[in-house]
A = this chain, B = another copy of it.
């Protein structure tokens, strides 16, 4: 903002005796009569400011510009808990850049006891807490470190569309009405599954994307309408190649954010072993001591059944209809539709502290195998053609053997940061009841807009 350069709070310890300008928020204020002390907060942290001679009408959370000199604090007044605790700024001029009313809740606490709806309505204040500042900064660091690792391994980051076609990822789609084709709808992606496979057909060989995925399913502690995944696909690879890449990326990125990992390399279990030993796919290998130490404990699970019976008694896929059977023998069973329940998919899941944090598999690249899967799932020939004809067709033009993985890194960060809820690692999460943070949505739209889209809101039936 012109003139002398800004000094950050954390930099003041290196500028004792110098004149500095700081910008930030009034974190706290203590009036000692002749002098007022404030803790000034900026993105780097806190520093104490001493105010003597002038207007002192400051309130908590006011935004100020402080001009002054850095001095050592008097002996005995140092604060060993603060990185800048040995110094203070003797203010010569203070300008209030923006006043603050009293916030609706304390922004310095952990905030876990405040009602969710209130926290999210004022999310821009809620995010001032050190805990959430840290969570979002750690998240940013983790993802950038993962990117570094993948670029170093010759991956290309490619964006895939948000307005796309409904696919059977197993959850409900969000749909978007089309103005150009009134009465028709796009779907928002539940995952970039088909596009990333098509990028293998296109010859990119090593794709990744930090991809937004949307599912219209009721929210849970670790599941919202929107989540982000590090989405990976590779050509000419074995399951072990993909697992090694994901493991390497995860360890590299966790190291960058300072996380400790219990066992390296990650142990590998078959699904059968896991169910026998732990009775659940979401098992936690940590000892009590490891839990106390905040250590992350990973394990791979492999050799999942491809299909299982649903409540109605028909076959459904356990993970992904695009998976390949684990070997030629299982492929034969699938093509001949024999012993369906025994077919093993080339699928691998990564578990961390009892949370599923990644999953993937080697895909089928043969049109007849993909068709067989959909036949087992009970699709009619015509339906397969309509819904997956483009994939079956793509596989006829030289699609290499390929496989990939998607890492739900938000869950992984929950584990590392000791958070119980996905919303604690997202900037503007929705409420549990599906309302947006800060803004009042969903909301009504104009009749004109609905007419343009060729849709109308159903009239409510009167309750008897």
Known contacts A226-B162, A442-B178: A457-B454 contact under CB 8 Å? yes
Whether A355 sits at the interface, judged by CB under 8 Å, is no
* Chain A 436-454 interface residues, beta-carbon cutoff 8 Å to B: 436-445, 449, 451, 453-454
Q: What 0/1 readout, one digit per residue, does chain A (237-251) give for beta carbons within 8 Å of chain B?
A: 110010000000000
Q: Tell me whether A365 is interfacial, beta carbon within 8 Å.
A: yes
| Beta-carbon contact of A163 and B454 below 8 Å | no
Cβ-defined contact, A166 with B443, below 8 A: yes
Contact A62 B212 (CB under 8 A): no
* A36-63 contacts to B (CB < 8 Å): 41-43, 61-63
* A361 interface hit (Cβ, 8 Å): no
CA distance A401 to B429 in the complex (A): 25
The answer to whether A183 touches B390 (Cβ under 8 A) is no
Contact of A163 among B181, B395, B397, B430 (CB under 8 A): B430
A379 at the interface (CB under 8 A from B): no
CB distance from A72 to the nearest CB of B (A): 26
Residue among A41, A157, A439 with max Cβ neighbours from chain B (10 Å): A439
What is the chain B residue whose CB lies nearest that of A197? B124
Instruction: State A214–B188 Cα separation when bound (angstroms).
Output: 12
How many chain A residues touch B (Cβ–Cβ < 8 Å)? 120
CB-defined contacts of A429 to chain B, threshold 8 Å: 161
Q: Which of A137-145, A280-288, A305-313, A412-420 contacts B (4 or more CB under 8 A)?
A: A137-145
Q: Is B184's CB under 8 angstroms from A179's CB?
A: no
Considering the complex, which residues of chain A in the window 51-85 have a beta carbon less than 8 Å from any beta carbon of chain B? Answer: 61-63, 65
Q: A140-B158, A398-B61 are in contact. Are A203 and B457 (CB under 8 A)?
A: no
How many Å from the CB of A97 to the closest CB on chain B?
A: 6
In the assembled complex, the CB of A455 is this many whole angstroms from the nearest CB of chain B, namely: 5
Chain B residues with Cβ below 8 Å from A325 are: none
Is the Cβ of A179 less than 8 Å from the Cβ of B172? yes
**Contact between A204 and B136 (Cβ–Cβ < 8 Å)?**
yes
Docked Cα-Cα span, A400 to B97, in Å, equals 7
Shortest beta-carbon distance, A101 to chain B, in Å?
Answer: 5
B182–A157 CB distance below 8 A: no
**A426 at interface, CB cutoff 8 A:** yes
Among A2, A172, A457: residue with most chain B CB under 10 A: A457
Residues of chain B contacted by A449 (CB below 8 angstroms): 172-173, 175
Partner of A397, one of B101, B212, B437: B101
| A426 with B159: CB separation less than 8 A | yes
Taking CB as reference atom, which chain B residue is nearest A103?
Answer: B397
Interface segment out of the listed A110-118, A125-133, A294-302: A125-133
A390 to B127, CA, bound (A): 16
**In the complex, chain B residues whose CB is within 8 Å of the CB of A390:** 438-440
Which residue in chain B gives the minimum CB-CB distance to A144? B151
**Residues of chain A in range 154-198 having any CB-CB distance to chain B below 8 Å:** 154, 156-166, 172-188, 194-195, 198
DSSP majority for the A interface?
loop
Is A304 in contact with chain B by the CB < 8 A criterion? no
* Nearest CB in chain B: distance from A390 CB, A: 5
**Contact of A180 with B125 in the complex, beta carbons under 8 Å:** no
Contact between B163 and A394, CB atoms less than 8 A apart: no
Chain B residues in 8 Å Cβ range of A348 = none
Is A225 interfacial (CB 8 A cutoff)? yes
Q: Are B185 and A445 closer than 8 Å at their CB atoms?
A: yes
Give residues in A with beta carbon < 8 Å to B.
1-2, 6, 23, 25, 41-43, 61-63, 65, 97-101, 103, 122-128, 133, 136-137, 140, 143-144, 147, 151, 154, 156-166, 172-188, 194-195, 198-199, 201-206, 212, 214, 216, 225-226, 228, 235-238, 241, 365-366, 386, 390, 394-401, 426-430, 433-434, 436-445, 449, 451, 453-458
Task: Apart from A98-B398, A160-B428, list 16 A-B contacts with CB within 8 A.
Answer: A41-B203, A43-B154, A98-B366, A99-B398, A123-B202, A136-B156, A144-B147, A147-B147, A159-B427, A162-B188, A163-B214, A182-B458, A186-B442, A194-B439, A386-B440, A454-B457
Closest 6 CB pairs of A and B: A100-B398, A127-B202, A165-B441, A184-B442, A165-B439, A178-B442
Chain A to chain B contacts (Cβ below 8 Å), 29 pairs: A1-B236, A1-B241, A1-B401, A25-B203, A42-B205, A63-B398, A63-B399, A63-B401, A98-B366, A98-B398, A98-B399, A99-B396, A100-B398, A140-B156, A140-B157, A143-B157, A144-B147, A161-B436, A163-B225, A164-B439, A165-B441, A165-B443, A172-B179, A175-B445, A179-B216, A179-B434, A184-B441, A186-B436, A456-B456
